[in-house]
Amino acid sequence: MSALAWLGVLLLAGVAGAALVVWRFVRARNMQIWLPAWLRRGARPAHGGPTHVMFCFVDHYEPMHGRPDLETQRARVDRWCRDYRALADRHRDADGRKPQHGFFYPEEEYLEEHLAKLEALCRDGYGELEVHLHHDNDTEANFRASISGFKQLLHERHGALPRHPGTGEVMFGFIHGNWCLDNSRPDGRWCGLDNELILLRELGCYADFTMPSAPSDTQTSTVNSIYYATDDPLRPKSHDRGVPVRVGGTPSGDLLLVQGPVGLNWRDRRHGFVPRVENADIRANYPPTPGRVDGWVEAGIHVEGRPEWIFIKIHTHGAPEKEADVVLGPDVDAMFSHLERKYNDGERYVLHYVNAREVYNIVKAAEAGHGGDPNDYRDFILPPPPNRVAPAAPAA
């Protein structure tokens, strides 16, 4: 074989080896699930006027994570109720609003004294309580009983969760434990219900906030979207695809899903050239750098036809000490400062700190054709829960 032929063989071998390395990198992070959709994404349509940035921080808030003793649980909750006040008080959006924290509290970890403390924090304007659930090999009857009982408990004992003004039903936002919404884990663990989207709708869930879950294999192929999913009760992971919410559209399917940003983070490369997976997760090993914040904005998640309103939903598991050090510390403090400095100039960008319920309301306002200032639509359909409503002034 000639030298030129050998060179060709070596080049082909090098290309094949590089391709194998890339494929292993992709499979190790389950990127084959979502990467094609991310690569096909188009640019956010141009628009006149400023971009309004709705920033929503949701928390899989689990004070019993790791099964600590009661004193450790109390210390975790007390730290949050003390330090989050100090953190949020240093920041304001364009509407004069503090950052809002969504405490998605696990039904199976309920302890009245923990919720009473979080209720007081929410009553003072720092966030709202919502529903979180870890379950495994569940039944429809048990799921209905668990969710129905918990939402009533949160509403009646802790003043959380709004009532729908038309039906009077207690409504809730939802995050599934272990990312396994609609039985989406391939081995069937940590759920068990192929009709979970239907059940959530029937039980009063106004929207799901579980995604993204990358690098988990529960991640959907749909990314960076706000959409309606229709449940196939005979198959899992029915929310893998759906119908985008659009201006002038009508609700469809069984459940509204609000996703956070996912993609490749080229600003934070490992070894100088390997991009990290952006999954909207704030953790001790993945703090919110200014580059990540810029990437969230660039993801441009919006209701179709309303590109000037973008939604950033990030998440965390903020109760354990290691994660609390980040979420209550200088990294998140700097994140808020970066948002307020770069994305709140009133000309190119206007920043709005919103909770999950307000995200739903603003999305529905966009769907109904409303525009302008999204601050006008924070309570568009669902009102604040009782613990966020100022008491009436006493009669003279």
- Structure tokens given for 352: 């709005």
pTM for the predicted model, two decimal places: 0.92
Q: Which residues, in sequence order, are CB contacts of 93 under 8 Å at separation 6+?
A: 55, 99, 340, 344, 351, 352, 353
Q: What is the pLDDT of residue 394?
A: 42
- 121 pLDDT exceeds 90? yes
Give the DSSP letter string of 249-264: ----SSEEEEPPP-EE
- 172 pLDDT exceeds 90? yes
pLDDT band at 392 (very low <50, low <70, confident <90, very high): very low
Average pLDDT, the chain: 92
Q: What is the pLDDT of residue 9?
A: 47
pLDDT digits (tens, 9 = 90+) for 124-160: 999 999 999 999 999 999 999 999 999 999 999 999 9
Q: Which residues, in sequence order, are CB contacts of 340 under 8 Å at separation 6+?
A: 91, 92, 93, 351
Please state the separation of Cα 267 from the chain's center in Å.
Answer: 22
**Encoded amino acid at 363, one letter:** V
Higher pLDDT, 247 or 25: 247
Q: What is the pLDDT of residue 268?
A: 80
Please give the C-alpha separations between residue 69 and each of 74, 75, 82, 309, in angstroms, as whole numbers: 9, 10, 20, 44
pLDDT digits (tens, 9 = 90+) for 48-98: 899 999 999 999 999 999 999 999 999 999 999 999 999 999 999 999 999
Q: For residues 14 and 197, what is the distance between their CA atoms, to the nearest angstrom?
A: 47
Q: For residues 180 and 143, what is the distance between their CA atoms, to the nearest angstrom?
A: 14
Give the DSSP letter string of 162-177: PBPTTT--B-EEEEEG
- 41 pLDDT exceeds 60? yes
From 11-20, 249-258, 300-309, the region with the lowest mean pLDDT: 11-20
* 3-class secondary structure, 9: helix
Question: What CATH number labels 48-388?
Answer: 3.20.20
The answer to whether the Cα torsion of 190, 128, 101, 293 is positive or negative is positive
Name the residue ranges covered by the structural domains of the chain. 48-388
- Structure tokens given for 70: 């009661």
Phi and psi at residue 172, to the nearest 5° = -150, 150
Q: For residues 103 and 118, what is the distance between their CA atoms, to the nearest angstrom?
A: 8
Q: For residues 144 and 84, what is the distance between their CA atoms, to the nearest angstrom?
A: 33
Q: Which of 49, 29, 147, 54 is nearest to 346 (CA)?
A: 49
Higher pLDDT, 277 or 273: 277
pLDDT band at 29 (very low <50, low <70, confident <90, very high): low
